[in-house]
Structure formats: C-alpha cells, structure tokens
Structure 1
Amino acid sequence: MKKWMFVFLIGISIILSGCGGNTSSKLTGSKPPETNIQIGNETFPTTLGTYCWSSMFKGVCVDTAGPEALLEGKEPIAVQPGEEVAFAMDYEPLPNEIHVAYYQGDKETEVKVENHRFTAPKEKGVYYYSYGVWWMDENEENVSNGDAFYAFALEVK
C-alpha cells in the first residue's frame, strides 16, 4: 500500500511540474507576449502560433498550423534582398533560446540570427518564417517554462 501511494505522489508531482508548477518561473500573462519584426523604421506584427505557457501555477499548450497555413490570406512583408530584419519583444525576461527557419514549399532553411537580427534572402520570392523562442529555466537543466512559435512572411522584391 505504501509503495502504491509513493508512486501516486510521484505521478502528481510530475503532473504539477509539467503544468507550470515550477516556482522559479518568472513568466506573466496568460499567453506568450506579442512579437514584432522591424525593417528599417517600420514595425510589423508576427502571428502567434503553437505555444506552451506557464505562469502562476497554470499551464496551457496550444497547437496550430505551420507558418504558411497560419498566414493564409495575409500579405507578406516586402523587403529588399539582404535587408536587415530585427525581432522586437517588449517583455521581461526575454527568451534565452531561439530558433529561426524559413520555408519555401517543403524545404526548410535555418537562419543565422545575431543580436536579434538576421538578413533577408538575396533571391526574389516569398519566404514563410518560423521564429521559435524558449524561456529555459535558469535553475533546472532542460526545463522550459514557456515556448512560442511566431510566424511571418517576407517577400523579397
């Protein structure tokens, strides 16, 4: 009987930590913050896609379509070949891990990002981007307090 109770308590602990029971999380709000991209002096919104968010002992995960389907019907942002694009997020703490890729058809290409900036492709065309960010726990290795994927499209003219 005691052995079963111990297993049951471990199961509860795992469920709580998986649902945002981590007290070291400094995330606020019911979902990830809005994120924009800046090109020159102009700012453009991104579209929030799939995310998992935990704050104040509450956690939620939302699964959405990929960038191309998520942006259906929206005009891509016009850019010049090789133009600098910057990410802007008015939120603290900022995510401490990022991943950016663009898609053309079924081809995925990694994008190198430095100081929250990258350069647009040099070839003309429409590129669908996924900007993935993670708020990794500072105290527990391999534990994410939240993650989000943002979508936007660039049209290189």
Structure 2
Amino acid sequence: MYKWITLTILFLIINITGCSSNDGMKGDKPPKVMIQIGKQTYETKLGTYCWNTKNKGRCVDTAGPVELLKDKKPIEVRPGVDVTFVMNYNPKPNEIHVTQKNNNTDVEVVLEKNRFTAPTNKGIYYYYYGVWWMDKKKEQVSNGDAFYAFALEVK
C-alpha cells in the first residue's frame, strides 16, 4: 500500500515539475547577429521576435527592414562579395530564411553554409534574416524566432 502511495506521489511530482530542465532559450531576447564581409564584421538590427525563456514568452513587433533602418547608413560593398552571418549562440537556429528587398521587390536569398553573394548591380539592398529555433520533439512548435535587418549598398 505504501509503495503505491509513494509511486503515485513521485509520479505527480515528476508530472508537475517536468522531466527536464528545459526553461526555453538562454537570455532575455534573441542573440546578436553580425554579418562578416572579408575581415570586417557589422552589426544587424534586431527586428520582430518571439522569445521563450524561463517559461515566459515575449513577442515584440517592429517595422520592416526599410523602416527599421531608415536612420542607419547602408554597408558599402563591392559587387558579388561574400556575406556571412555570424551568430555566437548555441543552439543554432534550425530554420533560416533571408529576404532581399530592392525597389519594392522581395526576393528569397539562397544561403550556402550561412553565406550568400551580394548583388552585382549597383544600388541599395535591404535584407531581413529570419531564424527559428523549432522544437525537435514537438512538430510546428517554435522555442524562439527573430528577424534581423541590415542594408548593403553595392558600389
């Protein structure tokens, strides 16, 4: 009898507290993301995000990349230069999308090894780097997502 009571209490404690110590993501908001061009690194601007930490979720909604960067000077680059994303955070996001905006046209940018090539035509290009930390055990559940904006001026 005591054995069943003890097992029942133990089962309830495990169910209430959970089997793991997964408190969500580290930090109060998504990590910083830099872009690297040659040996130089540049900051991106954190835009819209949702972040789950210590069992508390927080979502922040911002303007799109053009409006978010209106007071920031674009990064000057040569045509066709490699642009690499640098995120000093683990775990790494497991879903990534990059959108390029130029003259009111949005284009999906293909990444290869977290890198893409800058356009060859002169002009100012706005980018939105979207990342998601999708739960590996629960399908369609995100533990966090963030959008980072930056602009390149191809000279």
Q: How many angstroms apart in 1 are the aligned matches of 2:47 and 2:140? A: 22
CA contact (8 A) 1:25 1:137 kept: no
CA contact (8 A) 2:95 2:132 kept: yes
State the match for 2:143 in structure 1: 145
Alpha-carbon offset, residue 27 of structure 1: 1.1
Q: What is the TM-score when the length of structure 2 is the normalising length? A: 0.85
Unaligned stretches of 5+ in structure 1? 1-21
State the match for 2:92 in structure 1: 94
Q: How many angstroms apart in 1 are the aligned matches of 2:24 and 2:115? A: 25
State the match for 1:11 in structure 2: none
Give the 4+ runs in structure 1 shifted more than 4 A. 22-26
Alpha-carbon offset, residue 25 of structure 1: 5.7
Q: How many angstroms apart in 2 are the aligned matches of 1:43 and 1:131? A: 16
Alignment-mate amino acid for residue 133 of structure 2? W
Q: How many angstroms apart in 1 are the aligned matches of 2:23 and 2:43? A: 26
Alpha-carbon offset, residue 32 of structure 1: 0.2
CA contact (8 A) 2:110 2:116 kept: yes
Q: How many angstroms apart in 1 are the aligned matches of 2:22 and 2:141? A: 11
State the match for 2:125 in structure 1: 127
Rate the CA distance shift 1:93–1:26 in 2: closer, same or farther, 3 A.
farther
State the match for 2:53 in structure 1: 55
Alignment-mate amino acid for residue 106 of structure 1? N
1:115 and 2:113 are equivalent in the alignment: yes
* Percent identical residues: 59
CA contact (8 A) 1:23 1:57 kept: no
Write out per-residue CA displacement over residues 122-150 of structure 1, whole angstroms, 9 at most, x where no aligned residue.
Answer: 11000000000000001111110000000
1:79 aligned residue (67, 77, 80):
77
Aligned length: 136
Alpha-carbon offset, residue 64 of structure 1: 0.1
Q: How many angstroms apart in 2 are the aligned matches of 1:129 and 1:103? A: 6
Q: What is the TM-score when the length of structure 1 is the normalising length? A: 0.84
CA contact (8 A) 2:95 2:133 kept: yes
State the match for 1:67 in structure 2: 65
Alpha-carbon offset, residue 73 of structure 1: 1.4
Alpha-carbon offset, residue 85 of structure 1: 0.3
